[in-house]
Amino acid sequence: MALLRYTILVVLIMVSVNLYSQEIKWMSWTEAVAANEKEPRKIFVDVYTDWCGWCKRMDQSTFKDSAVVATMNAHFYAVKMNAEQKESIFWREMEFKWVEGGRSGFNSLALELLDRQMSFPSFVTLDKEFARISISPGYKEPPALLKELKYAYEELYRTMSWDDYKSKS
């Protein structure tokens, strides 16, 4: 009987550790570009800053949701991009540099991805060729983010606008 209880306890611990260890496989921009060359996928970019409270809340809640984690890891290369990073990003024979300005300066790739509308958090979804599907500013609860992810990974943007999709679903 003691062996049975011990076995059950070990199994429960293993299951709980596995559940809590599930997380989004975040990449840098460079890592996502390299991964996309080998196996093309859509790209999800979380553009954040270190001082953004809502960005931190997304990390602690929405990005820990099991459905969000599963969807993100199955359909996207997920990129964490600090909009204020000072290190240059090299991509498509261009150098995206840190530029002085705003609160703490910004990286010019973040500026381009957000179509010059810097607000945080913001999420950019790109297709396999890095064409922008959407820019979505602001904190999202899991159901709202899942809806946006589905719109991208099911390629519904090819046949209907975001506003039409939102009103129908």
Residue 29 lies in a domain: yes
Q: Are 117 and 137 in contact (CB under 8 A)?
A: yes
Residue 11 lies in a domain: no
Residue 131 lies in a domain: yes
pLDDT in tens, 15-71: 444 444 589 999 999 999 999 999 999 999 999 999 999 999 999 999 999 999 999
Q: Higher-confidence residue: 1 or 83?
A: 83
- Strand 89-91 relative to strand 94-96, pairing: antiparallel
> pLDDT class for 86, splitting at 50, 70, 90?
confident
Residue 46 lies in a domain: yes
pTM: 0.84
pLDDT in tens, 99-155: 887 778 888 788 899 988 988 999 999 999 999 999 999 999 999 999 999 999 999
pLDDT in the model for residue 1: 62
Domain of 105, CATH number, reads 3.40.30.10
Residues 6+ apart with CB under 8 A from 163: none
Residue 54 lies in a domain: yes
Nearest to 81 by CA among 53, 104, 50, 58: 50
* Count of domains forming the chain: 1
> pLDDT class for 5, splitting at 50, 70, 90?
low
Q: Are 146 and 71 in contact (CB under 8 A)?
A: yes
Residue 8 lies in a domain: no
Give the structural domain span for 161.
Answer: 23-168
d(CA 6, CA 164): 54
Residues 6+ apart with CB under 8 A from 136: 122, 123, 124, 125, 148
